[in-house]
Structure 1
Amino acid sequence: MRTVRIRILPWHVFVGLYTYALAVATAETGLLEKLTFLQTQRNVSKHSIESMVVNSLGIALALLSGFVILAAVSPKYQMLNSTLFYSDTRCLSS
């Protein structure tokens, strides 16, 4: 059972990050669509306050998601190299 978990962990991380990236792409597409509709229906200029807010929100979302993905794949935060020894009552880490 333990070896199956160890073998599936990289795929689990990949699928989770892939799903997260798709959610961020969906949010960015929604922001772009909202801005496009604002500019076509109400004649909002490209340099108006609303356009700047939506663009800033999109950039902030992209940067935040980049930091989250970087932290998830960073080797500093991964504990794959530590071995675990199981006793009858508790788990001991070496």
Structure 2
Amino acid sequence: MQWLNGFLSFWYRGEMRTVRASRLPWHIFLGLYTYALAVATAETGLMEKLTFTEMRKHSDSSASKRSPETVVANGLGMGLALLGGVVILAAISPKHQATLQRKSVYSVSNSKC
């Protein structure tokens, strides 16, 4: 139902901009929540890969502790976690919020013309 409401409000431009502005915080929250879940899924997949790599190493006693696979997977996991943090920080930063409010006030004032 929410999807249909969003679709119709996109095509029907007569909707009040204040209604759109009131939905913006929920849109931001759901977008960031989905992004965080995607990052968590990727991190879980990397952890699973490392677990299977470690299980394979234990069957072979001559394998070293630091294989290239584990170094790449750990580096990728750290990079992914840092990127996720930077993206979320950029989305919730006060500078970004001030710009958003300025744009919404400008849009609301122009809609009365």
Measured against the shorter chain, the TM-score band is 0.7 to 0.9
Q: CA RMSD in A?
A: 2.0
Cα–Cα, structure 1 residues 28 and 46, in superposed 2: closer, same or farther, change >3 Å?
farther
Higher strand proportion: 1
Alignment size in residue pairs: 89
Unaligned ranges ≥5, structure 1: 90-94
Cα–Cα, structure 1 residues 9 and 35, in superposed 2: closer, same or farther, change >3 Å?
same
The match for 1:48 among 41, 48, 67 is 67
Moved over 3 A (4+): 42-46
The match for 1:39 among 45, 54, 63 is 54
Instruction: Provide TM-score, normalisation by structure 2.
Output: 0.70
1:39–1:45 contact (8 Å) kept in structure 2 = no
Q: Which has the higher contact order (CA 8 A, sep 6+)?
A: 2
Tell me the equivalent position of 1:67: 86
* Paired-residue identity, %: 62
Unaligned ranges ≥5, structure 2: 1-15
Higher helix proportion: 2
Tell me the equivalent position of 1:14: 29
Tell me the equivalent position of 1:86: 110
**Alpha-carbon distance in 1 for matches of 2:29, 2:112:** 33
**Alpha-carbon distance in 1 for matches of 2:57, 2:110:** 65
Give the CA deviation at 1:80: 3.4
Deviates more, 1:69-78 or 1:41-50: 41-50
Give the CA deviation at 1:42: 4.2
Give the CA deviation at 1:5: 0.8
Return the index of the structure with the highest Cα Rg.
2
